[in-house]
Amino acid sequence: MKDLISITDLSIEELQELIDTAEDIIANPEKYGDKCKRKKLATLFFEPSTRTRLSFEAAMLELGGAVIGFSEASSSSASKGESVADTALTISCYADIIAMRHPKEGAPLVAAKAAGIPVINAGDGGHNHPTQTLTDLLTIYREKGRLNNLKIGFCGDLKFGRTVHSLISAMSRYEGNSFVLISPEELKIPGYIKKDVLIKNEISFVETDNWENLPELDILYMTRVQRERFFNEADYLRLRDVFILTMDKLANAKDDLCIMHPLPRVNEIERAVDSDKRACYFKQVLNGKFIRMALILRLLGIE
């Protein structure tokens, strides 16, 4: 594997290797402090995404490497009309590995084909964001000790949320997982995910617009309802407020429920939930850094 463009580039075995490396990094951070000495990560962010970029940069710095790059297209040569392939070729002369975020779908693949160095897709429009899915998988593994035989609830915007679609696809590859899809009618999961992923692989799932299945869940993945997806403010405000997770609702949930969220959140998880032991979304952020460290090592071929 030279690059990571889509989560489906990784086999189940490769995913497990990355998770194992991340676990080892968490257990023995001192072993990894110099692994990327004199290596440079270029973060090429053609659209801003502070948390993803900082996660990559923190990952590289903790491996003893250095970081170069830009955080928006206006400060890159793309603003002068340079192609993605030319930018990637140029950066290949300076850096050892690239993490790229781009508003257009497929741009990181174009970069990967041109660059002589590994390219990580750090999000291409609404298309792929494989390191978020890796983050989610590591979090589930660390919290539950397994990636199979879990009942996973997704709540909120299941129509546009690409993190939801990728995680459903990724978790569908493991045996015995089932899904509860909680959303208002307008934000239900797209037909192609149902048909091509769930029905095709005979995976059990329920679609609902209420919380009655919450007591059965092992994982609850909350998502943000994004303002920019709506044509009018009234619809946004109405739907945004429909599915809010509160301490009251959690009264019926399992004691070892793992509550996740890709962040940032708006109001879909009440602040009081943050101090509940079942809230895992800030641990998830930290896991994001560890799995990116594991990924950088893997793509650079460093043991």
Q: What is the dihedral of CA 122, 124, 129, 131, to 10 degrees?
A: -10
- Is 9 a binding residue for other proteins by CB under 8 A? The answer is no
User: Could you confirm whether 52 is annotated as catalytic?
Assistant: yes
- Is 2 a binding residue for other proteins by CB under 8 A? The answer is no
- Is 106 a binding residue for other proteins by CB under 8 A? The answer is yes
Q: Which is nearer to other proteins, 170 or 217 (CB)?
A: 170
- What's the rounded Cα separation, in Å, for the pair 23 and 264? 25
Tokens found for residue 224:
């943000």
CA quadruple 164, 150, 298, 30: dihedral positive or negative?
positive
Among residues 127, 142, 240, 298, the one that binds other proteins under rule CB under 8 A: 127
In the complex, minimum distance from the CB of residue 163 to other proteins, in angstroms, rounded to a whole number: 16
In the complex, minimum distance from the CB of residue 296 to other proteins, in angstroms, rounded to a whole number: 24
Q: Which is nearer to other proteins, 31 or 104 (CB)?
A: 104
Tokens found for residue 143:
């919290």
Instruction: Select which of 52, 87, 131, 133 is catalytic.
Output: 52
- Is 107 a binding residue for other proteins by CB under 8 A? The answer is yes
Name which of residues 57 to 86 contact other proteins (CB under 8 A). Answer: 83-85
User: Could you confirm whether 102 is annotated as catalytic?
Assistant: no
Instruction: Select which of 35, 40, 53, 101 is catalytic.
Output: 101
Tokens found for residue 105:
């779908």
Helix (H) or strand (E) segment spanning residue 35: none
Residue with tokens 């994982």: 219
The residue among 143, 148, 174 whose CA lies nearest residue 12 is 174
Residues making contact with other proteins (CB under 8 A): 83-85, 102, 104-107, 109-110, 124-127
